[in-house]
Amino acid sequence: MNETWIVFKAESLSAHGWEERKLLPVGGLTDILATEWDFSGKLPQIGDRVREYANLEDPGNGITHGRDGNWIVKSIHQFSSSDTNLCIAVCYCAYEPVESKWVELKRGKPVNEILQPAEIG
């Protein structure tokens, strides 16, 4: 199974919206908008929007809702390791605001219900 680290970056540090991007722990400005791991093999495409996630009822405590964000993928660069199944996809994004509504995320069964111990005997 391939494992891909996807990095969404602004096209430059001075790209629109730079004032609102998160500061790194050392106080510097970052052009990284988001990162995620993918195990499905389905990578972002040009024109996809960076998704935003939040817990609308209890901020900072997990996520319950998602929506399309204001950043859109303009180009993608992929890098693969010759000796492992690890890949990196760097998606360069432009700021293109869009009105989108928060949508509640569908969740499966809790892990403790899925992994019920088998009864022996």
Going by C-alpha positions, the residue among 30, 51, 46, 25 that lies closest to residue 89 is: 46
Pair of tokens at residue 60: 């900072």
Pair of tokens at residue 24: 């790194």
pTM of structure: 0.76
Residue with tokens 């000796």: 83
Pair of tokens at residue 96: 């293109």
**Per-residue H/E/C for 88-103:** EEEEEEEECCCCCCCE
Amino acid, res. 92: Y
pLDDT digits (tens, 9 = 90+) for 5-57: 999 999 877 777 766 676 667 767 788 888 999 998 889 999 999 999 889 98
Q: Is the pLDDT assigned to residue 106 strictly greater than 60?
A: yes
pLDDT digits (tens, 9 = 90+) for 53-96: 889 988 888 888 999 999 999 999 999 888 888 999 999 999 99
